[in-house]
Structure 1
Amino acid sequence: MRYFLETLSRGASNPNAKCKEALRILEFLKAISFHKGKAYLNNGFITGRLDINARGVGFIEVFSDKPMRDIVVESKNLGGAHLGDIVVAHLLSNKKSRQSAKILAVLEPANETSLVYLKRFGQAVLGVNIQNGLSLALKASQKSLKALPLGTLLKINNANNEITEVLGLITDPNIDEKISLAIYNKKDEFTPACEDEARAWGDTVDPSMYKERVDLQHLPFCTIDPDDAKDFDDAIYYDTKGNELYVAIADVSEYVSAFSATDKEAKNRCFSIYFPHKSVPMLPRALSENICSLRPDEPRLAFTFKISLNDDLSVKKEELFSAIIKSKKRFTYNEVDKILENKSGCERGILDWLLPLHKITQRLKQIRLKKGFDFRSKELKMSLNDDGLIASTHFESETPSHALIEDCMLLANKAAAKMISKGIFRNHAPADIKKINFLLDDLAALGIEAQYESNLAAMIAKIQSKANELGIREDADKLIIKAQKRAEYSHTSSGHFGLGFETYTHFTSPIRRYSDLTLHRLLKAQLAKDDKLYNYLLEGIEATCEELNIKEREADKVAFDFMDRKFARWAEQNIGKDFICYISEISEPLIARLDDKLKGARIILPNFTCPLLTRVRVRIISSDIASAKIIGKVVEKLDV
């Protein structure tokens, strides 16, 4: 939808079914005109996605080819639109410096439902929206509402505020998962049709039924994943004699046909979601954790790259084919780290190629970093106790095993991208000048005086070098990452700035990313020289890429929202206590991140100013479970 609406400024044509309905609404509102078969947005009208703040004021992120500031929508002009809806609005003429508008219609609702909790206002019981704190009257009698405990969580229909489901009590820690999923209209359960399709494939692969595939069961492949992984997308093997790397990827497209019930559900989800205690998979578990997963000692179908390298590690040849493999070992990252350190700890058949591959991937990374970047970022990990509360948190850094797997996957992803001219690519644009100027100001506060250079790659390399000298590399990388644009999916390739690649895509995780599953289908059609199928699969690819970008952000938000709720429950138990934090966002108000024994909580600091990354001692003042917001007060600035 977004891609289509953005093209209205230069003339849009060939809308899909969803966009045709939007076009009819725009035509009825006289918001568009037609010329030579193309639709153009009339002056004074805008389309975009609606955000609503806690005060009920809306902001429209305008869909346009040109950068535009968000347009304000006063609460009286929202027209019944909800947070996240794609809307059409008419610009209002006013004397205020900030442009405002009135919403005329919703072109695509973000969600059919919202989540509210019951709260008493005087004599009335109303619903309070979890996301923006706005109160609203529900389509239910006061008698029935008062019969429910205050704090009861309800899912309501956005069209009429009718209650559709009672979820539980907001005071129950075990409700957090349901809240985070419901806010973004996600679900764990699959339809019976999806489950039936998944189970129909059984639990085992009979190699005799796939004689047309390359049989690689004799090769000692292995998988390397986190300790708690249940779905294994990728397996690797390195032939030391031929200097050939095999990257075998679960052949999900063999089991999930385009436009099947499972495919439609996977396309709706787009990504698996990972909580500290469980995952919400993109595919039914009968596929994701069973027949598709490259489990050890079991024959499995794989879509496989064989990448032959020259002595200087440049790519000599790339071959892609359908295969059957049998992984000989399921390793965890920790296990491989110990093997790489001790040069022992696993059977010789694997050790003989794993150790040489480690050296090769180290060299590959050195070559890659001549154009790309190495950011010392850490991923926050959380563990829960039996009561659903935080037991501990820690930051997970890249280790040698992570780096080994990463560079193997990068080779396969690059190889896949080179095989297609249109389809699904993973692009990353350089940061814009405005963000770079903010970055230089923030770095100056850290003691790094850097000058703007048109060659951003060279400039960032110099910044990281200075940060290494000052011993603040990790702090500098936090700021550099913050200044970067998000990587996004697109139907055309424009390169990946962060990796330093001219073209790049996602090929290696079809169990948990719909982008990779779609790419596998395109590549198979290309290998079969089936242009008709290839072009058929390309229909609506722009909209698919747009949906992937939206759903990727949503999947991230679900996971972050869940952790924020756990932190809010922790903070509620620690009101009045002091903790060490650092300033993570210069905003109004300031935001700090917990950096004590427990790490990562986001704490709001009203009426306080200080430089970014300043370490402070913060006292917890309040915690709101519903909004998952923690309020703190700085009681002391700490020496660096």
Structure 2
Amino acid sequence: MKDFLYSLLNGVFEREISNENKQILRNLINLKAVSEHKGKFYLNNGFVCGKLDISSNGTGYLIAYDERFKQDLIIENKNLNNAHFGDIVLARILRTKKSRVNAKVVQSLKLANETSLVYTKQFGQAVLGVSLKTGLSIALKATQKSLKLLQFGTLLKINNVNNEIIEVIGNINDPKSDEKISLATYNKNDKFSDECENEARAWGDVVDPSMYPDRVDLQDLDFVTIDPVDAKDFDDAIYFDEKNRQIYIAIADVSEYVSAYNSIDNEAKNRGFSIYFPHKSVPMLPRALSENICSLKPNEPRLAFCFKISLDENLNVVKEDLIEAIILSKRRFNYDEIDEILKGNQKSEISWIKPLYNVTKILRKRRLKTAFDFRTNELRMSLDDDEMIKATRFETDTSSHQLVEDCMLLANVAAAKRIRKGVFRNHTPPDLKKIYNLLDDLATLGLEYVYESDLANLIRKIQIKADEMGIREEVDKLIIKAQKKAEYASENLGHFGLGFDRYTHFTSPIRRYSDLILHRLLKANLKKDEKFYNYLLLNISNTCVSLSELEREADKVAYDFMDRKFARWASENIGKIVKCYVVENQNILIAKLDDELKGARIFVANYYAPLLSEIYIQIIQADIATAKIFGKVYKDV
């Protein structure tokens, strides 16, 4: 929609407008916001389109799609016209004597969410709903008598068009409501329709190999899965034929069970990704598929889509065969077990693991000559029976993680070579401005470097120095922050961070819809079915844009949940002094908890400290509604 609204500034022919956007065009014409001139449609003077932001005091800020507006337009609360945070809106510019351009919302063209989450709170004699996203109070479409029967803090899902109550979620004071809050805040659902569940269960629990005579039978090969210790679904398995230097990467063949455009597929497309909480997951597919018939369980025949990567004596890839197969995983390993095997502390009945690791080590070293190697710590949280924080820890990349990652990269690159258009995972180079800002930030840490056109080489030099100073992980986070986010697109643009000319996602169709689409495209390609291939590409560009948005939302849901758990912990520790380090110091100082518990963000007003500096903060407030913790500096080090 953004591209369409932007095109109206310079004029657009009707034949260039998609059916979806033609409906919006008719609406804009009815609102007298668009006119036709010589066959082109233009946005009329005095109107502006953009995305709406709303501050905690209720003032709106319109991020205009018209580049002539260098600053956000101000929209006073009375002029919001019931528009919500994140909506794409049409606004009319107001004539005022104020120095900043003011506007009034005419209509929300696209709702950020069809629903909002509020909690009940008494204001004087009235009970209103308070938005968890904005903190603004909302008059609900319900009688005061019925609202006063509810316990204060009751969580309600409301319709964003008329503020009508749709569902009672729980109570904001109950820790067991956090999961529902995080899901509802981003309009996510943890339940599947009966139709989806019945479709999934209809496939049963067992794969009968005799029913698939056209598949290549690889059950004799010693495939294994390697996953986190608490994994429920296993969508990749590997095997290494050391004698012939062939790496097999077998991926759950979800596309055999989920046809394009059926009810499960539509639901998976709307979800886009599985969401992972510390205590459970919200899967993209019904569990009868994701944790059963599709999952590559040990000692169970399973359908797989498999790449056989053949290497020469110099470990160069010489052939990449794609096989519709049946496999039988011989063993389920977790990462810790593989690490112990690689260290020599534990024996394994699988003889090829160490030889494969030695191969992937060489492949990794070769790849990192043109790619980046970031040391990132993934925050893991464990909860007690009351769903309060019990402990946190950082999970670091180990040898076992690297072994699996490099195998998956081989398969992803091989898949990308086979499609001309479809679903690519692109990562474009960073903007120069962000790189210069990064160099400024690094200079404050004693890492003084000047810009080089060979960014990979520059970043490697910075990382070597950061290693010597003992701040590698922190510096890597700053480097990652300066880069653009990887996104899905129908056309290939390469992957800057990984150093690949072509790259896609092939290895996780149980938890990523992008991979499921790709599997279908690859099967059509294998069968030389051009008609079906093109059928699968219908609206693919919009699907890729949607997937990038859904990916960010899935991440936000997971982060929101952990932020809420941290806020509940902080609410029980008001006045406590904790050790932190500074992660942001521009508009407001943000510090990360680095004490017995780790990872919580704490906001500190009216204070400045250098990035990564260690400070002690006293917790002064915790807002469970917005999932924020506030503190004041007790002392810096």
Instruction: Please classify the TM superposition score into its range, dividing by the shorter chain length.
Output: over 0.9
Shift of 1:487: 0.6
Deviations for 1:69-127, whole angstroms, at most 9, x for unmatched residues? 65443323322211222223344566666554432222221222111111111111111
Partner of 2:555: 556
Partner of 2:80: 78
Matched residue type, 1:409:
M
What pairs up with 1:466-485 in 2 under 5 angstroms? 466-485=465-484
What pairs up with 1:432-471 in 2 under 5 angstroms? 432-471=431-470
Write the distance in 2 (CA, Å) between the matches of 1:331 and 1:38: 61
Write the distance in 1 (CA, Å) between the matches of 2:217 and 2:37: 57
Write the distance in 2 (CA, Å) between the matches of 1:45 and 1:500: 44
On the 8 A contact 1:6/1:65 being kept in 2, the answer is: no
Partner of 1:628: 627
Matched residue type, 1:19:
N
Write the distance in 2 (CA, Å) between the matches of 1:66 and 1:546: 25
Write the distance in 2 (CA, Å) between the matches of 1:319 and 1:63: 46
Deviations for 1:377-430, whole angstroms, at most 9, x for unmatched residues? 111000000011000001110000000000000111111111111111111111
Q: 1:364 and 1:66, CA in 2 relative to 1: closer, same or farther beyond 3 A?
A: farther
Deviations for 1:192-248, whole angstroms, at most 9, x for unmatched residues? 110011011111111111111111111110110001111111011111111111111
Partner of 2:276: 274
Write the distance in 2 (CA, Å) between the matches of 1:305 and 1:67: 51
Q: 1:243 and 1:104, CA in 2 relative to 1: closer, same or farther beyond 3 A?
A: same
Partner of 2:260: 258
Q: Does structure 1 residue 53 correspond to structure 2 residue 85?
A: no
Partner of 1:183: 185
Write the distance in 1 (CA, Å) between the matches of 2:104 and 2:542: 27
Write the distance in 1 (CA, Å) between the matches of 2:94 and 2:318: 61
Deviations for 1:488-536, whole angstroms, at most 9, x for unmatched residues? 1111111111111111111110000011111111111111111111111
Q: 1:411 and 1:115, CA in 2 relative to 1: closer, same or farther beyond 3 A?
A: same
Partner of 1:103: 105
Write the distance in 1 (CA, Å) between the matches of 2:314 and 2:95: 64
Shift of 1:38: 6.2
Partner of 2:131: 129
Q: 1:40 and 1:427, CA in 2 relative to 1: closer, same or farther beyond 3 A?
A: farther
Taking structure 1 as the reference length, the TM-score comes to 0.95
Write the distance in 2 (CA, Å) between the matches of 1:221 and 1:37: 62
Secondary structure of the structure 2 residue equivalent to 1:103: strand
Partner of 1:322: 324
Shift of 1:22: 1.8
Q: 1:65 and 1:521, CA in 2 relative to 1: closer, same or farther beyond 3 A?
A: farther
Write the distance in 2 (CA, Å) between the matches of 1:179 and 1:624: 14
Partner of 1:236: 238
Write the distance in 2 (CA, Å) between the matches of 1:278 and 1:452: 45
Q: Which portions of structure 1, spanning 4 or more consecutive aligned residues, are displaced by more than 6 angstroms?
A: 35-38, 64-68
Partner of 1:390: 389
On the 8 A contact 1:2/1:546 being kept in 2, the answer is: no
Secondary structure of the structure 1 residue equivalent to 2:435: helix
What pairs up with 1:138-157 in 2 under 5 angstroms? 138-157=140-159
Partner of 1:246: 248
Secondary structure of the structure 2 residue equivalent to 1:164: strand
Q: Which runs of 5+ in 1 are unaligned?
A: none
Taking structure 2 as the reference length, the TM-score comes to 0.96
Q: 1:183 and 1:369, CA in 2 relative to 1: closer, same or farther beyond 3 A?
A: same
Secondary structure of the structure 2 residue equivalent to 1:168: strand
Write the distance in 1 (CA, Å) between the matches of 2:68 and 2:453: 22
Shift of 1:314: 1.9
Write the distance in 1 (CA, Å) between the matches of 2:72 and 2:536: 35
Matched residue type, 2:215:
R
Q: More deviation in 20-29 or 321-330? A: 20-29
Q: 1:532 and 1:30, CA in 2 relative to 1: closer, same or farther beyond 3 A?
A: farther
Q: 1:22 and 1:288, CA in 2 relative to 1: closer, same or farther beyond 3 A?
A: same
Partner of 1:301: 303
On the 8 A contact 1:488/1:549 being kept in 2, the answer is: yes
Write the distance in 2 (CA, Å) between the matches of 1:188 and 1:134: 27
Matched residue type, 1:574:
N
Write the distance in 2 (CA, Å) between the matches of 1:114 and 1:68: 30
Q: 1:451 and 1:519, CA in 2 relative to 1: closer, same or farther beyond 3 A?
A: same
Write the distance in 2 (CA, Å) between the matches of 1:36 and 1:362: 63
Secondary structure of the structure 2 residue equivalent to 1:469: helix
Partner of 1:419: 418
Shift of 1:581: 0.4
Secondary structure of the structure 2 residue equivalent to 1:634: strand
What pairs up with 1:498-513 in 2 under 5 angstroms? 498-513=497-512
Partner of 1:291: 293
Matched residue type, 2:581:
Y
Q: More deviation in 472-481 or 488-497? A: 472-481
- Partner residue of 2:213 out of 211, 214, 218: 211
Matched residue type, 1:134:
L
Shift of 1:624: 1.1
Q: 1:546 and 1:4, CA in 2 relative to 1: closer, same or farther beyond 3 A?
A: farther
RMSD over equivalenced CA pairs, Å? 2.0
Write the distance in 1 (CA, Å) between the matches of 2:102 and 2:420: 41
Q: More deviation in 485-494 or 310-319? A: 310-319
Q: More deviation in 164-173 or 612-621? A: 164-173
Q: 1:329 and 1:425, CA in 2 relative to 1: closer, same or farther beyond 3 A?
A: same
Q: Which runs of 5+ in 2 are unaligned?
A: none
Matched residue type, 1:114:
S
Shift of 1:19: 2.7
Q: 1:55 and 1:241, CA in 2 relative to 1: closer, same or farther beyond 3 A?
A: same
Q: 1:208 and 1:36, CA in 2 relative to 1: closer, same or farther beyond 3 A?
A: farther
Partner of 2:355: 356
Write the distance in 1 (CA, Å) between the matches of 2:23 and 2:539: 15
Secondary structure of the structure 1 residue equivalent to 2:360: helix
Q: 1:542 and 1:346, CA in 2 relative to 1: closer, same or farther beyond 3 A?
A: same
**Matched residue pairs, number?**
635
Shift of 1:303: 0.8
Secondary structure of the structure 1 residue equivalent to 2:176: helix
- Partner residue of 1:24 out of 20, 23, 26: 26
Shift of 1:45: 4.2
Q: More deviation in 24-33 or 313-322? A: 24-33
On the 8 A contact 1:3/1:542 being kept in 2, the answer is: no
Matched residue type, 2:122:
R
Deviations for 1:525-568, whole angstroms, at most 9, x for unmatched residues? 11111111111111111110111111111101100110010000
Q: 1:433 and 1:632, CA in 2 relative to 1: closer, same or farther beyond 3 A?
A: same
Partner of 2:523: 524
Partner of 2:574: 575
Write the distance in 2 (CA, Å) between the matches of 1:9 and 1:425: 30
Q: More deviation in 184-193 or 153-162? A: 153-162
Deviations for 1:609-634, whole angstroms, at most 9, x for unmatched residues? 11111110000001111111111010
Secondary structure of the structure 2 residue equivalent to 1:449: coil
Secondary structure of the structure 2 residue equivalent to 1:362: helix
Write the distance in 1 (CA, Å) between the matches of 2:419 and 2:557: 32
Q: 1:58 and 1:202, CA in 2 relative to 1: closer, same or farther beyond 3 A?
A: same
Shift of 1:41: 4.5
Secondary structure of the structure 2 residue equivalent to 1:107: strand
Deviations for 1:128-165, whole angstroms, at most 9, x for unmatched residues? 00111000111111111111111111111111111111
Q: 1:336 and 1:7, CA in 2 relative to 1: closer, same or farther beyond 3 A?
A: farther
Identity %: 63
Write the distance in 2 (CA, Å) between the matches of 1:67 and 1:100: 11
On the 8 A contact 1:617/1:635 being kept in 2, the answer is: yes
Shift of 1:58: 2.5
